[in-house]
A and B are shown apart, each in its own frame.
Chain A
């Protein structure tokens, strides 16, 4: 009788053990599959030039494919996007996009060049569209999309040390300039940008493969940091890499994400300093009145022209906009559960320019539990930007008593997302 009574417990224990093992093994199997251990995987490789910003990180300077077999990348096939030589179609690489409205309404078109098609708000949305477009243009099916930007290449070389390509020594100090030089010199140049990049990638991988365990650990740490800072983005359906797909942060509180696209400002963005100043005034009725100021310090000797979109919570009502320089806008659109406020701003050489948006947010932005109220703000960094300065201020309703606050204040230079928290009663 005693044995019979313990049988359900034993069954339950076995079920729990099986579930735990499955929870551990399924992601592991997914990861191994993504790394080509159960058959070669082909990824679309996208090199984003973050000195010419786009929403997902930068101008698509090069695209191509890389095979991954038993964890090792092989068969690089890179193409320079500007010459369209890789296309298996006669339409010149034109893609039809169906949003976001902030872009299509402002520019009055749904047609873009493939190299400019990363107008979506995040890489997680862009990547499958990019893979589909690439298949349409070239006929090649891919298993996922990997994007790296110029900052990532620089940081990787900082980690591995110099790499020689042909007769050239490539270091973290000269790699970005060399890529720009080779891209600009594509016509009439003896060294082709894609051949250079293919060789650089192959040599980097060879360096890593022959590296010692400490160097490999260092590289792993660098890759993780690059992923967290969205200089390295990975879209691999089925693999547990959700932290690296650059997806927009889901929040029920306040939210700001500023996405800049430089369609006519040349290779300027690594020489533009950005400051985001945000003040939230929590009204007595729980609604929030916000002031968002975006400041651009242009350190180039030419005009910096930026199409900027501030993504703020759904239901935001724009009350006003002020510009300090030549501009177009504001335009307000709504999509993906967010409100988008867009402007086009010109920042003259060696000066700063700014735009300030004033808008109201619904009362639901502030949460409450008993006598306590909770205001939270998530500031999401755009992929491709190295860092920015964040200034935040939160004004409480009349008579409210501050219990706790974090990340409120001025002059925070950050290379990642910031979560602001204020608790009051």
Chain B
């Protein structure tokens, strides 16, 4: 009788240990999943190129094949920004209503061909850096008909210049700190503060 009781107690103890271990394992797994999910949701940290030139809003910098200038940085709720989009985005593809917890920032840049030949330009090489130190990548680009053709062809003709409006989606609690043209060497860093 006593032996049977001991065996029963041992079995119960093992069962309790197994249940506790399973709970701890599940909790650890859940924490790992949550941490991983939160980490992957964030945009990558901005790593500044070793070679770079720093300018302010309204200043031009010419590097590699291109002259790059940031004219203005607007919130998409700004009436002027909406007017720009309504004028240029005639396909009605970009309602610019942000995803929950985020907003759109529109960067108005002027890019000009600086060489005696066709200059490559990709709007996706324009990166916005937030005050959280993270890189945000372009969602859309728009311009007038001629510039839209240049943007789509990813090149600017000899002597050509374009006003390009590039839209970025950033979290509500982040403000734009820098705009970086990453395709030139050195990179062009426009400080917005």
Convert B68-106 into 0s and 1s, putting 1 for each residue whose CB lies closer than 8 angstroms to a CB of A. Answer: 000000000000001000100001111101010010000
Chain B contact residues, majority secondary structure = mixed
Which residues of the partner chain A approach B82 to less than 8 Å between Cβ atoms?
Answer: 301
Which residues of the partner chain A approach B141 to less than 8 Å between Cβ atoms?
Answer: 181
Q: Among A160, A167, A217, point to the contact of B122 (Cβ < 8 A).
A: A167
A89: min CB distance to chain B, Å: 29
Q: Among B97, B136, B149, point to the contact of A271 (Cβ < 8 A).
A: B97
Verify B44–A267 contact, CB threshold 8 A: no
A263: min CB distance to chain B, Å: 14
Which residues of the partner chain A approach B95 to less than 8 Å between Cβ atoms?
Answer: 267-268, 270-271, 299-301
Verify B91–A172 contact, CB threshold 8 A: no
Which residues of the partner chain B approach A214 to less than 8 Å between Cβ atoms?
Answer: 29, 32-33, 36
B38: min CB distance to chain A, Å: 10
Q: Is A266 an interface residue (CB 8 A)?
A: yes
Contact-residue bracket for chain A: 35 or more
Please judge, given known A-B contacts A180-B93, A189-B152, A299-B97, whether A218 and B139 are in contact too, CB under 8 Å: no
A232: min CB distance to chain B, Å: 18
Please judge, given known A-B contacts A161-B39, A190-B152, whether A177 and B136 are in contact too, CB under 8 Å: no
Convert A261-293 into 0s and 1s, putting 1 for each residue whose CB lies closer than 8 angstroms to a CB of B. Answer: 000001110110000000000000000000000
Verify B92–A188 contact, CB threshold 8 A: no
Verify B94–A180 contact, CB threshold 8 A: yes
Q: Is B137 an interface residue (CB 8 A)?
A: yes
B167: min CB distance to chain A, Å: 7
Q: Among A161, A174, A183, A270, point to the contact of B137 (Cβ < 8 A).
A: A174
Which residues of the partner chain A approach B152 to less than 8 Å between Cβ atoms?
Answer: 185, 188-190
Verify B43–A171 contact, CB threshold 8 A: yes
Which residues of the partner chain A approach B29 to less than 8 Å between Cβ atoms?
Answer: 214, 217
Which parts of A152-195 form the interface with B (CB within 8 Å)? 158-162, 167-174, 177-178, 180-181, 183-185, 188-191
Q: Which 10 A-B pairs have the closest CB atoms?
A: A177-B139, A161-B40, A266-B92, A271-B97, A173-B169, A174-B139, A168-B124, A184-B93, A169-B137, A184-B91
In the complex, 26 of the A-B residue pairs with CB atoms within 8 angstroms, ordered by the A residue number, are A158-B40, A158-B41, A159-B40, A162-B137, A167-B124, A168-B124, A168-B137, A173-B99, A173-B137, A174-B138, A177-B169, A178-B140, A181-B94, A183-B93, A184-B91, A188-B153, A190-B152, A267-B92, A267-B93, A270-B97, A271-B95, A271-B97, A299-B95, A300-B97, A301-B95, A302-B92
Which A positions have Cβ atoms within 8 angstroms of B? 158-162, 167-174, 177-178, 180-181, 183-185, 188-191, 214-215, 217-218, 221, 266-268, 270-271, 299-302
